[in-house]
Chain A
């Protein structure tokens, strides 16, 4: 059974710092991996999707990497801003069970202090 773990559970950094969020998964048989952002009480915003054949994806100050063989992904946020404060969720689309299913980690709650 696919399991997704995110470390750390919470992270507090000063504004301007570069930071890395970690995600690990137990089964490398995945179609893709998605990173989401969720503000309190709101829906999920898709940040980046990395296909299983890809190594990384970039969008603005965000860079996500994928090492499928070791079951790891990182989300790098450059020059963090208070507006980046949110919970970041990692989810994989496992091949077993069909592409419709997403298995989520529990998230990393990020606080960027001004």
Chain B
């Protein structure tokens, strides 16, 4: 299984709502990532988990809260978002730091299209 899955595919939420995005992989990867992508722009890294521990937070506002319950699952909890947070949210996974760094290939999921009203 070389797939990263994300649910839901689409999400519409109000600024007072609380919602969660889910990502799953069964490739035995130990690093998982959240990216945000606005239209016609490249993906921007938000968070990295390595061995279920948060290793990188790219100064993301606290209204985004990541969680890694186990090595296969990654969640992104959303609360009090702003309309400018509307974007495609991409999850990715790769082998961890201990692996040959030259072949630390990232595999991406299909994304969740988020609209904040």
Contact = CB atoms under 8 A, between A and B. Distances in A.
Co-complex (A, B): yes
Interface of A: 31-32, 34, 36, 41-46, 49, 51-53, 89, 91, 93, 98-102, 104-107
Nearest to B104: A99
Given A31-B101, A53-B102, A100-B31, A106 B41 contact: yes
Q: Top 6 nearest A-B pairs by Cβ distance?
A: A104-B42, A51-B102, A44-B108, A43-B110, A99-B101, A43-B108
B97 A100 contact: yes
B105 A49 contact: yes
Nearest to A101: B45
Contacts, number: 69
B106 interface: yes
B59 to A, nearest CB: 14
Given A41-B113, A105-B42, A107-B42, A46 B56 contact: no
B55 A100 contact: yes
B104 A32 contact: yes
Contacts of A89: 42
Contacts of A42: 110-111
B102 A32 contact: yes
Interface in B58-117: 88, 90, 92, 94, 97, 101-111, 113
Given A31-B102, A106-B42, 18 more contacts: A32-B102, A41-B111, A43-B108, A44-B43, A44-B90, A44-B92, A45-B108, A46-B105, A52-B102, A91-B42, A93-B101, A98-B55, A100-B48, A100-B50, A100-B56, A101-B48, A104-B43, A105-B42
A106 B108 CA distance: 17
Contacts of A45: 108
A34 B106 CA distance: 9
A45 B88 CA distance: 15
A53 B100 CA distance: 12
Nearest to B105: A49
A107 to B, nearest CB: 6
